Amino acid sequence: MKLLAGNSNRMLATAIGDHLDVPLTKAQVRRFADNEVFVVIEENVRGEDVFVIQSTSYPANDNLMELLICCDALQRASAKRITAVMPYFGYARQDRKTGGRTPISAKLVANLVTRAGADRVLTLDLHAGQIQGFFDIPTDNLLAIPVMAQDIRSHHRSDKLMIVSPDVGGVVRARALADRLTADLAIVDKRRSAPGKSEVMNIIGDVAGRRCILFDDIVDSAGTLCNAAKALADQGAESVCAYVSHGVLSGAACERISQSVLDELVVTDTIEPSELVSACAKVRHVTVAPLIGEAIRRIANEESVSKLFD
């Protein structure tokens, strides 16, 4: 196999290569003076099984174009199979029409990746499972739950532990983690007045005296997460931590987290942290490189990926 990395998350790509003991393919992924993306693959990839590692995080459009152009370059270089490895799938929150005359951008991105030449997609914790159906090529959606569960066992006692879903839509995800940890489940009932703004209405479950762990797939502005943490603390929670798969952490998110009642926010390294995020004392990262690396190895060897989560 060969691993090709874009510029969105070189740290994760290097870690995946180290796990597989496969060096990253030599390539130039750079910009012209007018910011056009230009890609040159400096190794022979004819007949190779190539995995392009590229999260479509901020700047989402630039990173998406890098992925598309890398796939096109590989296709024109006669690669046998191209797998788009997207640890973080941007535009995933636009997975349905939310009103009149609005797009389904996740489907558009799926079409673009397919048309660019990708033969299959590997991603992690899609915002909505149905996005897999947007692709007309094989799509593997990995789960960060095993990584999160292992970290929780290492850093938290099992007694009085309660997993909390920050909204009703994330109940299935939170229940899966709670079952793996043999912990109780609570739900935050929230109302979203506008994109990025939410208000906690009620807590479903008795969290008094419990050590609560909020579990979600994406933290962006961190407003929902901080509001949920405050509501749990007001209801008598002994402590509140958060585990989130994708740390977008845009705008004033780090400031909100630092000033919140959260003891800690744990995110995976699917998105390379900015300097501001790295400097935030309450944010800690866990790596998913071994998980993604093992999935890549299994795909290359035509083995089962689902066995990773049995």
- One-letter-per-residue 3-state SS of the chain: CEEEECCCCHHHHHHHHHHHCCCECCEEEEECCCCCEEEEECCCCCCCEEEEECCCCCCHHHHHHHHHHHHHHHHHCCCCEEEEEECCCCCCCCCCCCCCCCCCHHHHHHHHHHHHCCCEEEEECCCCHHHHHHCCCCEEEECCHHHHHHHHHHHCCCCCEEEEECCHHHHHHHHHHHHHHCCEEEEEEEEEEECCEEEEEEEECCCCCCEEEEEEEEECCCHHHHHHHHHHHHCCCCEEEEEEEEECCCCCHHHHHHHCCCCEEEEECCCCCCHHHHHCCCEEEECCHHHHHHHHHHHHCCCCCHHHHC
CA–CA dist 186, 266 (Å, integer): 19
* Cβ proximity of 147 and 291 under 8 Å: yes
Catalytic residue among 190, 197, 230, 282: 190
Q: How many CB atoms lie within 10 A of CB 151?
A: 16
Indicate if 230 belongs to the active site: no
9-18 b/e (C-beta count within 10 Å ≥ 16 → b): beebbbbbbe
What's the token pair of residue 229?
């943490």
**Could you give the residue numbers annotated as active site?**
190
